Amino acid sequence: MKGTLKPPEAALPRPPRAYKRWASALLFAAALVASGWHLGLDFGRLVSGSGPMLRLFRAFLSPNWPYMLKVLPAVFETIRMAVLGTTLGALMSVPVIFAAARNVTPNRFVYGLARGVMNVLRTIPELLFAALFVALAGLGPTAGILAITVFSFGIIAKLTSEAVEAIDPGPLEALWAGGASRPVLFGYAVVPQVLPAFISYTLYTFEINVRAATVLGLVGAGGIGVMLNTAMKLLQYDKAASIILLIFAVVLLIEALSQSLRRRIA
């Protein structure tokens, strides 16, 4: 058409040249090779060790089915640990969620302190927390619950505080312009927008904690991980296979239920 305006060529993005793509791919491959060489990665050892690995795999293919009935109480203990730890961590994270959101916390010191606490707690591995709490509270599920609580606190506070920063500012500004108090602002403009994300992140963290509670048993923090660790140390691979299969079934069931709840909330 006569009146159609064509955009200038400088405004159109230029595709990368072919040699730049090849150079980037070669640099990435060289970085991978250099990293493997520096770390001593030896594929030959993997091939030579395939025999023992196959024998171990065959041992896991013959699980001790009746042993699963003896494992069920420990499985329920693991689930209870995850439920308690996730719930306590979610409740503890509520005040930190709003303190770590820049759009609702004008005080920079409070904002920085909340962010720092979250970063520190997410930096320390869960197993280290479990070992510390085992030394404090002794062997058993109490140490595992405390470790899961701290882990859940850091994850839920981090994710939900970012959801608070992404809320629609319109209702907040309208209530603020109308002279609403801070409790009213939070109750009517912030909480309704953030609550679905908070519940969704809590359910997601619960899924992670069911798996993590199993690993925490390796350091004596209760749950089914204690039985799994014992079976592996005694080379009772049929019992270990039964425990792993039961954990797998429980994780799949909980994940399906959690995803269904999250879809309904969304």
Specify the amino acid at residue 94: V
Q: What is the mean pLDDT of residues 23-49?
A: 79
Q: Is 42 exposed, middle or buried (0-12, 13-18, 19+ CB in 10 A)?
A: exposed
Q: Give the tens place of pLDDT for each residue, 255-265.
A: 888 788 877 77
Could you tell me the pLDDT band of residue 266, with boundaries at 50, 70 and 90? low
Whose tokens are 């606490």? That residue is: 117
Of 168, 169, 167, 148, the C-alpha closest to 93 is: 148
| Mean pLDDT, the chain, whole residue set | 80
Report the Cα–Cα distance between both ends of the chain, in Å, rounded.
Answer: 47
Q: Give the tens place of pLDDT for each residue, 49-93.
A: 677 677 777 777 778 888 888 888 888 888 888 899 999 999 999
Contact 190, 172 (CB under 8 A): yes
Per-residue model confidence (pLDDT) at position 29: 86
Report CA torsion sign: 202, 204, 210, 215.
Answer: negative
Measured CA distances, 38 to 27, 31, 33, 44, 46 (Å) = 16, 10, 9, 16, 17
Q: Give the tens place of pLDDT for each residue, 17-34.
A: 677 778 888 888 888 888
Contact 147, 85 (CB under 8 A): yes
Displacement of CA 30 from its chain's centroid (Å): 31
Three-class SS of residue 40?
A: coil
- CA–CA–CA angle 25, 27, 30 (5° rounding): 110
Q: Give the tens place of pLDDT for each residue, 166-193.
A: 887 777 777 777 666 677 777 777 778 8
- In the chain, % of residues over pLDDT 90: 4
Per-residue model confidence (pLDDT) at position 208: 86
